[in-house]
Amino acid sequence: MEALLKGKSLVLVIPVYNEEKALRANFHEIKRLLAEDGIHPCFHFVDDGSRDGTWQVVSALSSEYEGVTGIKFARNFGKEIALRAGVESVDADLYLTMDSDLQHPPRYIKDMLEVMAREGCDIVDGVKASRGHESFKHRFVAKSFYKVLKSITGLEMDNSSDFKLMNRQVIDALREFHERNLFFRGIVSWVGFKTVKFPFEVDDRTLGETHFSVGRLFLLAMSAILSYTSKPLYLTIFSGILFLLFALIMGIQTLYNFFFGHAISGFSTVILLILITGSMIMLSLGIIGVYIARIYEEIKRRPRYIIERRV
Ligand code: UDP
Ligand code: MG
């Protein structure tokens, strides 16, 4: 099977956050399954500021096994940034990003490599054929997020995942992104290149629990839309135009009534109008506000992440 890699080096980039209990077992499982397929990759862990003993496990693995490296963030920066830091901080010919919890099943990696070799593509993009056993809430939030994202950005990312195989060229392109806030899946699809979709079945999480609450998913969704597109700003212009038209019609009608003496006490209309325009203005200001906040964050030019340790 080494023929698949044709002497190219493969690194698995795995973000981990508070995975102390599961990490060692999962590492062995991934290693074992891949060895069965004749694949012997390097491992590169990104400890996303875990507060438990995850880093101890990573450093132990790194001293026990060859080809295991890791970096540790000084605090929790989130999975998106962890993935990005991961691919930036290691050199290889092929990069595979995956979760540490076996929900991105290692048994598919061989097929992904085969697809890449056969199709000659730069990205093999894992898409969830089914969403596994997620809670209803989780599924609902994810579904509506992708709907909104698609209608705003035109980006079809339904069932997309961070289970991706990429070659060096793609990673070099990703390194050119200097923004602090980014949505990993978003930029991978933004850079283009020849991409082949690869459907896979999500397995259940083996040990530990998901780190993404509904609130966190919502923030992720907001952040993804904001970092990907400025279209919501144009929405405010559209709603402005709509209200201008409305105002024109109402204005003409009011003047007509005034001049022909039909002007009646129309308090309810006034109240309604004030409420509607008021909320539209607040909404628009809000949208503008979040973008300004983004500009402020970017312009501070803070480091995107802080690496505390390496092994
Ligand atoms: N993760 C991370 N930083 C975080 C949250 C999660 O690096 O702030 C890692 C986590 O350790 C795991 C992967 O991202 O390897 C996926 O997380 P999880 O299984 O909790 O998410 P889900 O599968 O429920 O989407
Ligand atoms: Mg998971």
Q: Is the CB of 82 under 6 A from ligand 1?
A: yes
Instruction: Identify whether residues 177 and 272 lie together within a single domain.
Output: no
pLDDT of the residue at 82: 92
pLDDT of the residue at 4: 67
Number of domains in the chain: 2
The ligand with the least distance to the CA atom of 141 is 1
Ligand 2 center–CA 128 separation, angstroms: 13
- 236 lies in which domain range? 231-299
Instruction: Identify whether residues 57 and 164 lie together within a single domain.
Output: yes
Q: Does the pLDDT of residue 228 top 90, yes or no?
A: no
**226, 294 contact by CB (below 8 A):** yes
Whether 35 is in a domain gets the answer yes
For ligand 1, atom 22, name the residue with the nearest CA.
210
Whether 224 is in a domain gets the answer no
Q: What is the CATH number of the domain that holds 9?
A: 3.90.550.10
Whether 95 is in a domain gets the answer yes
pLDDT of the residue at 1: 47
Instruction: Identify whether residues 46 and 174 lie together within a single domain.
Output: yes
pTM, full prediction:
0.72
Ligand 2 center–CA 160 separation, angstroms: 14
Instruction: Identify whether residues 172 and 274 lie together within a single domain.
Output: no
Instruction: Identify whether residues 6 and 111 lie together within a single domain.
Output: yes
Ligand 1 center–CA 172 separation, angstroms: 24
Q: Is the CB of 135 under 6 A from ligand 1?
A: no
Instruction: Identify whether residues 52 and 196 lie together within a single domain.
Output: yes
Instruction: Identify whether residues 236 and 123 lie together within a single domain.
Output: no
pLDDT digits (tens, 9 = 90+) for 81-132: 899 999 999 988 999 999 988 888 888 988 898 888 888 889 998 888 876 6
Q: Is the CB of 206 under 6 A from ligand 1?
A: no
Instruction: Identify whether residues 34 and 78 lie together within a single domain.
Output: yes
Whether 146 is in a domain gets the answer no
